[in-house]
Amino acid sequence: MIHSTRNIFHKPWMPLTVMAGAFVVLCSIYAWATPIFEASDERWHFGMVDYIANNNSLPVQNPDIETAYEQEGSQPPLYYILSALMVRSIDRGDFADYSQPNPHALVGVPGAVGNKNMILHNDLTPPLRGTPLAVYLLRGFSIVLGTITVIAVYYTARQLGGSSYAALAAGITAFNPMFVFITASVNNDNLVTMLNSLAIWQLVIMGWRGFNWRRSAFIAVVVALGSLSKLSGNVLVPVIALAAAYIAWRDNNWRGFVTLGFMMAGVWALLASWWYLRNIQLYGELFGTHMMVQVAGPRLEPFTVGTLISEFEGFRVAYWGLFGGVNVLTFSAYYPIMDVLTLLAVVGLGYALWQITPHLWHTLSRYRRPLGILDALNLYWVFATVVFATLFLTASISLIAWTAQTYASQGRLLFPYVAATSPLLASGLLALWKRPKWELTTAALAIYGTFALMVPFASIRPAYTPPPPLTEAPAGINEVYARYGDIELIGYQTPNQRYEPGDDVPITVYWRVLEQSDRDLSAFLTAVNLAGEAIGTVDTYPGGGTLRTSTWQPGAIYADTYAVPLADNTDGLFDLRVQVGWWHYPTEARLEAENEDGSQLESVMLSVGGFADGNRYPVRNLFGPSDRVIYDNSIELMGFTIVDDNHIGMTWEAKRRIQGDYTIFVQIIDDDGNIVGQGDTKPPLSTQYWRRGDRIVTGHIISYPQEVSPDIYTVLVGWYDAQDFSRLALPSDEDNAHELAPMNLPGYNLPDSVRE
């Protein structure tokens, strides 16, 4: 088996054939897994195609007018023109129907639960006619472009090393889930990436064979076409100029250098200059980037080094796998693994350069003399590595400059230079591998390819799949009832735990459908504090945005799962509740909630756990007992204070975690031992959520069943379980009740010695 695997790499055509075939299959699966217009900016890319196909002209950008193409109308147009020619005969009159935006979509928020879908879908796999047919046709066009890119990466690396190295470089490209995702979408990145990759491939060949007018003409054409596909195509120009200058110096062939320069300038003027001149005429700028920023939205805060560092995490994640509207992640372990591999590749490149450094200066000093094959290969590898690294650095600087103007910190924007970055990564990894290269390549591609195959099924498609209807609610849910028109809330599930500022509260609510709605309604789930103020909310269509009320089945039950975010600045200790309701987004009108008997409910509040901000509140103005009073070794009475007539406040401290939910009793006892007044209450934060060190203040209003005469009364305080009325033990008292200072009641006319 090993022998046969090795033979694959002895046949240069075999690994590329397998790689290209696997890539096409992967792209097809990703195209199926991603509903139309759910890929990054696909709706606007297609909107640009649709406009050109309908009008036979390019749009004129106006930041004050909302369009179907938005900032993509400022992009170089070659991809859109070619795409428009492909779909112009297809009836796309239903484009607006298939591109209705989800008003609650959480674009660019990968950690959020639900609302990943930017578009409202009736069917994740619509019939292949009209707009869906046009979209899938263009996705197929993009897959062709991406396949050519993989081939170009392979041959670029093959020019520098063996089949194992070329296969690894191509595999790093072809099995990168993010690259597959973008390739399987309508996106102009695919054309410029292909053209740039072809140019890089030919530039690397030029570095070995020297100038050739046919190769120079080819480079000039693909660079000009790349410049007309996306502005990132222009990044190659200074790198090609530097590389060509080195080749001219090395070979003493400045005529070839000048020929290449004139060809690039002439072809660009012939093929691409018209669009740049159009920008000057319309917008007063060569590249049109200022207008694009106005349409896309400028960066609102200053761009600093700190900003760059803070956004780097999202940048690297978006290179390896950040799908949908920059809001769908895959397995969390994948990203640090790719970080480690990238770091190893950098170390490997440094190690490889260090190994050949002793021979490098000797080789350069003999550049006019015939070189041995080993010296020539070493010098060629260094040339290519420097070209790749320079291109990566130039592209990064360009991207940072663009990111400083608008929010564009996405690593996928480096894909147009993948013919440089993938060979760099492959070189570094193989430099550290001391065993036969084909072993690492085979293992790496098998693992990476398998993972890339898992992503659409495990991460992408599930983000857009609505919850299935249920015939009955699962056992063990918290039963509750509220009716909102034709929708019933019949229960919910939550972990019932303690939360802190910045946490998310997971909750699943169960809706029962009485009748299908004739309009799309939005649900809201709002976490509230002790005063009933909102501290976090989720507004959404049901099913996390995937299930429209106008499409769900009458009589069905739907499990609707969310994570309600809690504001970072929330303070206090209290039982946490989530208010649930429905509203109509276009009119902002709320639906009234009713009880089972038809009576109106002011609000529907669900108990979901406890909240504590983590602060240790000081004890102030308290009259404490002379001895420590600790109930069941769990709760200590720190003291009490008189707030006003018949109102007493107490401060407690948790000594350990408490099992159970307890209530405080305050009893007013006369001389005969009769209870003449009572002030029971639960603490604002139920004891089941208390943690060691928590300090909780409770307030008690004393009520008297009948009028009592002013006198000195005994006040007893303790804790009991409301389920069975068992009390927390107080070792100092057999009744498990502590006696506060004697008080003149009613009215709390305290002696001056104990008055606050």
| pLDDT tens string 78-111 | 999 999 999 999 999 999 999 999 999 999 888 8
- Using pLDDT thresholds of 50, 70 and 90, give the confidence band for residue 2: very low
Structure tokens given for 576: 């946490």
SS3 category, 491: strand
CB atoms closer than 10 angstroms to residue 101:
13
Residues 737-748 as b or e (16 or more Cβ within 10 Å = b): bbbbeebebbeb
Top pLDDT among 1 and 208 is at 208
pLDDT confidence of residue 754: 38
- Pairing relationship of beta strands 487-493 and 478-484 according to DSSP bridges: antiparallel
> In which band, very low, low, confident or very high, does the pLDDT at 363 lie, cut at 50, 70 and 90?
low
Q: How sure is the predictor about 511, in pLDDT bands with cuts at 50, 70 and 90?
A: very high
Return all residues near 386 (Cβ < 8 A) that are at least 6 apart: none
Q: Residue 575 is which amino acid?
A: D
Q: Which helix (H) or strand (E) segment is 721 a member of?
A: strand 711-721
At 719, list the tokens. Answer: 């804790």
3-class DSSP state for residue 562? strand
pLDDT at 482 over 50: yes
> Tens digit of pLDDT for each residue in 677-694?
888 999 999 999 999 999
Torsion 17-13-416-344 (CA) sign:
positive
Percentage of residues of the chain with pLDDT beyond 70 = 92
Cβ atoms < 10 Å from Cβ of 516: 14
Please say whether the beta carbons of 256 and 248 come within 8 A: yes
Identify the band that residue 640 occupies on the pLDDT scale cut at 50, 70 and 90: confident
- According to the model, what pLDDT value does residue 190 have? 97
Q: How far is CA 430 from CA 168, 172, 348, in A?
A: 9, 13, 7
Phi-psi region of 81 (alpha: psi -120 to 50; beta: other; left: phi over 0): alpha
Tell me: cis bond preceding 746? Omega within 30 of 0 counts.
yes
Angle at 491 between CA 500 and CA 513, to 5 degrees: 125
What is the rounded average pLDDT of the residues 638-645? Answer: 76
| Residue 231 · residue 188 · CB < 8 Å | no
Q: Given a cut of 50, is residue 351 above it in pLDDT? A: yes
Inform me whether the pLDDT recorded for 8 exceeds 80: no
Give the pLDDT score at 87. 97
Q: Span 310-333, mean pLDDT? A: 90
650 beta partners:
640, 698
Q: Which candidate, 340, 335, 318, places its Cα nearest to that of 428?
A: 340
Report DSSP state, residue 663. E
Cβ atoms of 151 and 140 closer than 8 Å:
no
Question: Which amino acid, residue 181?
Answer: F
Measure CA 574 to chain center.
31
- Pairwise pLDDT comparison (194 vs 112), residue with the higher score: 194
SS3 641: strand
| C-alpha radius of gyration, the chain, whole number | 35
State the burial class of residue 679 (Cβ atoms within 10 Å of its Cβ: 0-12, 13-18, 19+): buried
Mean per-residue pLDDT of the chain: 90
DSSP 468: P
Token pair in block for residue 722: 């409301």
Q: Reply yes or no on whether the pLDDT at 415 is more than 80.
A: yes
pLDDT band for 750, please (50, 70, 90 cuts): very low
- Cα–Cα separations (whole angstroms), residue 361 to 80, 222, 252, 415: 49, 35, 19, 34
Of 314, 338, 308, residue with least CA distance to 326: 314
* Cβ–Cβ under 8 Å, residues 526 and 434: no
CA distance 390 to 396: 10
Q: Which one has a higher pLDDT value, 474 or 645? A: 474
CA distance 430 to 440: 8
The label of the residue with tokens 């230079």 reads 417
Give the per-residue pLDDT at 563. Answer: 93
- Split at pLDDT 50, 70, 90, the class of 516 is confident
Pairing of strands 605-612, 497-499: parallel
Predicted TM-score (pTM) of the model is: 0.87
pLDDT confidence of residue 401: 87
Q: What is the mean pLDDT of residues 326-331?
A: 94
Segment holding 363, helix H or strand E: helix 334-365
Strands 504-513 and 487-493: antiparallel
Q: What is the pLDDT of residues 574-624, one digit of tens each?
A: 999 999 999 999 999 999 999 998 899 999 999 999 999 888 777 766 766
Which of 70-84, 189-203, 325-339, 667-681 is the least confident region? 667-681
